[in-house]
Structure 1
């Protein structure tokens, strides 16, 4: 299994924040088609089929930058 790229993680982060592909594209300065390509690639790498499953899998397996995506911070144990 290939690692998810930093750009794919960034897009997944915006997805988790509730942004659409069009909104993510506007934020990142790329087309929504490119956003969807990154999403498709990340889903294949994490072996999931739905976007909600992609976000969940990424949160379980990846470390997000807590300053950029504070909602991704894991609660203390």
Structure 2
């Protein structure tokens, strides 16, 4: 695991990736976190860019591989 990769993902992005791994949609995550689904999608896009992936499933897989989520 690269500490640089882990530290680049913000705590909010980590939280959202965890909810994604649990099968929640952006709308559901927005409701849970009391933020708009647009904000959720922005966090997802930022996390994808930080981890160098393009798909939601790849984001969750990369987060698992790098120890960002369990």
Q: Spell out structure 1 runs of 4+ moving beyond 2 A.
A: none
Question: Greater relative contact order: 1 or 2 (C-alpha under 8 angstroms, separation 6 or more)?
Answer: 2
- Cα-to-partner distance string for 1:26-74 (whole Å, 9 max, x where unaligned): 000000000000000000000000000000000111343xxxxxxx2xx
Q: Which runs of 5+ in 2 are unaligned?
A: none
Number of positions where the alignment pairs a residue of Structure 1 with one of Structure 2: 65
- Judge conservation of contact 2:20–2:60 (CA < 8 Å) in 1: yes
* Alignment partners' CA distance in 2, 1:62 and 1:21: 22
Aligned match of 1:30: 35
Q: So what's the TM-score if we normalise by structure 1?
A: 0.79
**Aligned-pair RMSD on alpha carbons?**
1.4
Residue segments in structure 1 that go unaligned for 5+ positions in a row: 65-71, 73-77
